[in-house]
Amino acid sequence: MVQYSEAVLDASFAALSDATRRGVLEQLGRADASITDLAEKFHMTLTGMKKHVGVLEQAGLITTEKVGRVRTCKLGLRAMEEEAAWIERYRQHWAARFDELDKLVEEFKHKEKTDVRKKR
């Protein structure tokens, strides 16, 4: 069984649970941006955006660099492999359950057709 770092998963999923933070990640996937630019794009205060950036940075999803008075954000180097592996494990689990459900539905359909034929 694959072992996941609970702290890494908790931090990542907590960071990703917010729509603004997901939007920031999407934006940074296109181009690096300053916190000020991100705050303007998302119609937020600078303080609010700094908090979102802090959560993303703590999770290792982005990095920031201060040059002069400007703090620039960019995607972190971590590729979220643990998160993807965790999601894939549950995707496979649910896919298997839905396959079993499909088999049961087909069995009931076949039984229903058989029962209808017997009644004629």
Query: How many domains does the chain divide into?
Result: 2
Answer yes or no: are the C-beta atoms of 31 and 72 closer than 8 Å. no
Is residue 120 domain-resident?
yes
For residues 5 and 83, the answer to whether their CB atoms sit within 8 Å is: no
- Would you say 61 and 12 are in contact if contact means Cβ atoms under 8 Å apart? yes
Mean pLDDT of 76-87: 87
Q: Are residues 18 and 49 in the same domain?
A: yes
Angle, helices 46-58/19-30, rounded to nearest 10 degrees: 80
CB–CB of 52/15 below 8 Å?
no
Q: Tell me the pLDDT of the chain averaged across its residues.
A: 91
45-58 pLDDT per residue, tens: 999 999 999 999 99
Question: Residue 1 falls within a domain, yes or no?
Answer: no
List the domain range (segments joined by +) for residue 34.
6-75
Indicate whether 91 belongs to any domain: yes
pLDDT of residue 120: 64
